[in-house]
Amino acid sequence: MAGSASSSVQKARKDLANRLAEIRRDAGLTGRDLATAMGCYPSKVSRLQNATTPPSAADIRAWCWACGAADQAADLIESLRAVEGMFVEWRRMERAGLRRAQEDRLPLYERTRRFRAYSSWLVPGLIQTRAYTTATLREIQRRRGLPDDVDEATEARMERQKLLYEPGRTFAFVVEESVLRSGPGDAEVMVGQLGHLITVSSLPNVSVGVAPTSPGRGRWAAEGFWIYDSAQVNVELVSGYLTITHPPEVAMYAETFEQFVNSALYGVKARALMAEVLQGLG
C-alpha cells in the first residue's frame, strides 16, 4: 500500500495543529504570550501546535479567543470532530451490538453509485450468502464478547444487498484466491458461497475479480478496504475502523485498487478457478 492506513489520522491531527499555529502567528503572539492569555503552561501550547497532544473543544475556543480569532473556533472544532471520527475502535462501534453497526452503514451505501472493494481475508459483505454472513458475524460476536444479535445483524446485511439490483449503480470486487479456499463456517457454507460468487459475477453491473496466488506477484496491502465513489475509503484494521476522506489519500487507494484489478482474473477464468475450488470441496 502506498502509505499506512494510520497515517491518515496522523496527518489530519497535524493539519489541525498547523492551523492553530498559524492563528497564533497571525495574532503576533509567541507561545509564551498565548499560554499566559490562556492560563496554561507554555509546554501545553507547544504540545498542541506540534500535534503531540490533541486539543479539546475547550482548548480550541480558548486558543482562538486569546488570538482574537473567536470566529474561527467553530470551524476548527468541526475539524476536530472529523479527526476524532476517523478511527473508531470496534468495541466503541459495536457497543450497541452488531445489528446497529450494520444498520448505521446503510446510508453510506445508499448514496454511493460506484462501489469498489478489495479483500484479502473474507468475501465482501455485499456478495456474501446468508450462511456465510451468519458464520462471519457469529465468529466476531464470540471473539469480542458482544451481545448475541447475530440473526438481526445478518438480516440487516442481507437487506443492504438489494442495492446490487438497483439501476445506476456499479460494483467492483477483488478478492485474493485464498478467500475462495478458506473462510468462516464449514465446507457446506463455502460451497454455497462459491456458487453465489459464480452467479453474482454474471450480473451486468457487478465485476468479481480473483487475484491469483502466483510467484512474483506483489501484494501491497494486507487490510481490506472499501471505496465509496471518490469521496470516502473505509479500512478494517485489527483494532478498529478507519475512515479516510482526504482526496489525495482516497486517490491512493483507488490507484492501488486498479493495481489489484490488473493482476486479477475475471469472467470465464475467474469462474473456472471458483469451480476448481468447488470441486475440491466436494
pLDDT of the residue at 191: 94
pLDDT of the residue at 237: 77
pLDDT of the residue at 262: 92
pTM, entire model: 0.75
Residues 214-242 have pLDDT tens digits of 766 665 556 889 999 999 998 887 767 78
β-pairing, 114-119 vs 170-176, is parallel
| CATH fold of 7-86 | 434 Repressor (Amino-terminal Domain) (1.10.260)
Integer CA distances (angstroms), 61 to 25, 31, 97, 226, in order: 17, 16, 35, 35
Distance CA 279, CA 55 (A): 57
Return the axis-axis angle of helices 267-281 and 187-200, rounded to nearest 10°: 160
Q: Give yes or no for a contact between 281 and 194, defined as CB atoms under 8 angstroms apart.
A: yes
pLDDT of the residue at 23: 95
pLDDT, one tens digit for every residue, the chain (282 residues): 434 445 667 777 888 999 999 999 999 999 999 999 999 999 999 999 998 888 999 999 999 999 999 999 998 988 787 777 666 656 666 777 889 889 988 999 999 999 999 999 899 999 999 999 999 999 999 988 888 999 999 999 999 999 999 999 999 999 999 999 988 989 999 999 999 999 999 999 999 999 998 766 665 556 889 999 999 998 887 767 788 887 888 898 999 999 999 999 999 999 999 999 998 887
Residues 110-145 have pLDDT tens digits of 999 999 999 998 999 999 999 999 999 999 999 888
What does the domain layout of the chain look like in residue ranges?
A: 7-86, 94-281
Distance of CA 166 to the CA centre of its chain: 23
Residue with cell 492501488: 256
Do the first three CATH levels of 7-86 and 94-281 match, i.e. the same topology? no
pLDDT of the residue at 111: 95
Per-residue HEC secondary structure of 214-239 comes to CCCCCCCCCCCEEEECCCEEEEECCC
pLDDT of the residue at 217: 63
pLDDT of the residue at 4: 45
Class for the domain spanning 94-281: alpha beta
